[in-house]
Amino acid sequence: NDSILKNEANPNNWASQLGNYAGQRYSPLDQITTNNVKNLQVAWSFSTGVLRGHEGGPIVVGDVMYIHTPFPNKVFALDLNNPGRVIWKYESVQDPTVIPVMCCDTVNRGVAVADGKVFLAQADNTLVALDAKTGKEVWKAKNGDHTKGETLTAAPLVVKDKVFVGISGGEFGVRGHLTAYDTNSGKMVWRAFSTGPDADVKIDPSKTMMMGKPIGQKDLGVSTWPGEEWKRGGGTTWGWYTYDPALNLIYYGTGNPGTWNPTQRAVDKDRAKSDNKWSMTIFARDPDTGEAKWVYQKTPFDEWDFDGVNENILADINMNGQQRKVLVNFDRNGFAYTLDRATGELLVAQKFDPTVNWATDVDMKTGRPNVVDKYSTFANGEDKNTAAVCPAALGSKDQQPASFSPDTGLFYVPTNHICMDYEPFSVSYTAGQAYVGSTVSMYPTPNSHGGMGNFIAWDAAAGKIVWSRPERFAVWSGALSTKGGVAYYGTLEGYLVAVDMKDGKELWRFKTPSGIIGNINTYTHNGKQYVAVLSGVGGWAGIGLAAGLTQEAGAQAWHNAVHPGHTEGGGVATAGLGAVGAHQSLGEYTQLGGVLTVFHVPDQK
Ligand SMILES: O=C(O)c1cc(C(=O)O)c2c(n1)C(=O)C(=O)c1cc(C(=O)O)[nH]c1-2
Ligand SMILES: [Ca+2]
């Protein structure tokens, strides 16, 4: 089975969520250029009929476009020969009690299309395979249990005859894993947990490498957690997955350790003894067997909710005159990591957000961040406010995937520019209830450009920002770069923005009907290039607003939903409020609801 490889080799398609297995979100199409992008206009549009956050983007294979929605996770197959005509529609029936256990809105990051099937990971943990021609169900598999706080938001990835799905619920005491299902039968092939020992052994202490050495830890990191805390230790896998066919390795990251209160996860006063393995870690695994070839833990013993799940972009770049096969990761913690993707060797670790203050730098021998005591929520302790930590829990970058252009050798990165106050408190575990234990409030980075986002170009060999465009709100959409020299991103006000990849200069912008947290994709149909994006404000950055609520009502409803009858304990409510607070003026800029907008240059060909 090589249909994704085949489809992605044809640049007329947009065959997978990140554009290709390498996760580059780059298109070799060059009809739309820095000269004519100013003539882009709406070709057609389509309303999904679903409110709340629309993440991910349209997949195009041949004459068909596949789009998806947040809960209840509809899928539409649209006919490109009769734009907007629905070939088929899939509408799932899901238990609505799944909604309150979704931490960060009812988002879904899109479908995978391969082997004549469309794969959808539903919020209620159902992985469903649909016939790509008819939309009829081929098989279904159950990947988790929402009554225990498990949900699905990530896009599946198909590699050979397996489809990979993660799990969400790091705010609910879930134990994270990545699971492979057989694309033909829907049978589970393997499951690899992020924390503690696996049923099938997927980490080998003598073979799995970290920083050039076997991890050596026979207990697989269990002793880096107090008691049995690893069983509800988070490390969920809700981000993006990439794949290197030549090395036969699949790459993904693990999220925050549960709870957000570090004191509850400490085994010693010395923070270095409580790494909470393997949360906040990049995994490189053999997709056939699940075996972990190497790991790299970016934020051992997290104290700030810096989930390590962001996309791992595979690129071949020039470093000191040598062509290197690297993996580049823009982590929520504000550091951009360049690693050798075959071995996991750490080559570069630099801040891609100059305002990051929780660590001074990364020790290149050990790979560990040097944490600044003043911003250590563990050093300051429970029920104490740690003020002015940068970045906020939303991170310098959250789920919004970046882009790499092989033409310029640069990365184009949507980023956030927000700081926070963080007050951890003790919380007890109840299955299906929030397991957070922190009050967080967020606000624009002080003494900075005044906005809450930047769109930047990054040199991953040097570890340096090449240019940076300030934006009023967090840039929560996925980026696109193109051979035509134009990069695209969306804003929370709903603008689709086109910039010159050389210098970041704005070339064009268009106001779509709602805030953009989806990814901008491009394809050709009948020989002509189109640009497509889903609007629909939401996600963590637009939460509350996406539910059509005022700031106060939104926070209250959120709180009641995730933690009925409790004022202490959950803490997701206050964290949610923090995100709303950061963007409190957004409501006047955007409408709710999902809309697909497709653009073209009308007089082209
Ligand atoms: O730990 C988790 O399992 C988990 C899941 C999700 C999710 O599934 O969307 C998010 C987060 N954490 C999270 O920390 C976060 O900032 C976040 C933002 C978003 C979003 O889509 O805007 N989802 C999530
Ligand atoms: Ca999380």
pLDDT value of position 567: 35
Residue 586 has pLDDT above 90, yes or no: no
What are phi and psi for residue 29, nearest 5 degrees? -70, 140
> Is residue 170 in contact with ligand 1, taking CB distance under 6 Å?
yes
> Is residue 173 in contact with ligand 1, taking CB distance under 6 Å?
no
Mean pLDDT, rounded, for 93-121: 94
pTM of the model: 0.95
pLDDT digits (tens, 9 = 90+) for 262-319: 999 999 999 999 999 999 999 999 999 999 999 999 999 999 999 999 999 999 999 9
pLDDT band at 82 (very low <50, low <70, confident <90, very high): very high
- The residue whose CA is least distant from atom 5 of ligand 1 is 168
Instruction: Note the CATH number of domain 3-600.
Output: 2.140.10.10
Q: Of the listed 115, 275, 302, 305, which one is catalytic?
A: 305
- The residue whose CA is least distant from atom 2 of ligand 1 is 170
The phi-psi region of residue 487 (left if phi > 0; otherwise alpha if psi is between -120 and 50; otherwise beta) is: beta
pLDDT band at 566 (very low <50, low <70, confident <90, very high): very low
Mean pLDDT, rounded, for 543-566: 45
- The residue whose CA is least distant from atom 21 of ligand 1 is 539
Mean pLDDT, rounded, for 527-540: 94
Rounded Cα distance between 165 and 217, Å, is: 27
Q: Is 416 annotated as a binding residue?
A: no
DSSP letters spanning 425-464 = ------TTS----EEEEEEEPTTS-SSSEEEEEEETTTTE
- Core vs surface per residue 263-293: b (16+ CB within 10 A) or e: bbbbbeeebeebbbbbbbbbbbbebeebbbb
Residue appearing with tokens 């609007």: 535
Residue 333 has pLDDT above 70, yes or no: yes
pLDDT digits (tens, 9 = 90+) for 10-21: 999 999 999 999
Q: Is 171 annotated as a binding residue?
A: yes
pLDDT digits (tens, 9 = 90+) for 29-52: 999 999 999 999 999 999 999 988
pLDDT value of position 441: 85
pLDDT digits (tens, 9 = 90+) for 126-156: 999 999 999 999 999 999 999 999 999 999 9
Q: Which residues contact 588 (CB under 8 A, 6 or more apart)?
A: none
Start-to-end Cα distance in the chain = 35
How far is ligand 2, taken at its centre, from the CA of residue 338, in Å? Answer: 23
> Is residue 391 in contact with ligand 1, taking CB distance under 6 Å?
no
> Is residue 435 in contact with ligand 1, taking CB distance under 6 Å?
no
- The per-residue pLDDT of the chain, averaged, comes to 92
How far is ligand 1, taken at its centre, from the CA of residue 52, in Å? Answer: 15
Atom index in ligand 1 nearest the CA of residue 151 equals 8
Residue type, 106: T
Q: Is 305 a catalytic residue?
A: yes
Of residues 429, 437, 438, the one with CA closest to residue 173:
429
Least confident of 23-27, 323-327, 448-452: 448-452
99 vs 135, more confident: 135
Judged by its nearest atom, the ligand closest to the C-alpha of residue 575 is 1
> Is residue 110 in contact with ligand 1, taking CB distance under 6 Å?
no
For the chain, the domains span: 3-600
pLDDT digits (tens, 9 = 90+) for 486-525: 999 999 989 999 999 999 999 999 999 899 999 999 999 9
Could you report the predicted ipTM of this complex, rounded to two decimals?
Answer: 0.99
How far is ligand 1, taken at its centre, from the CA of residue 186, in Å? Answer: 26
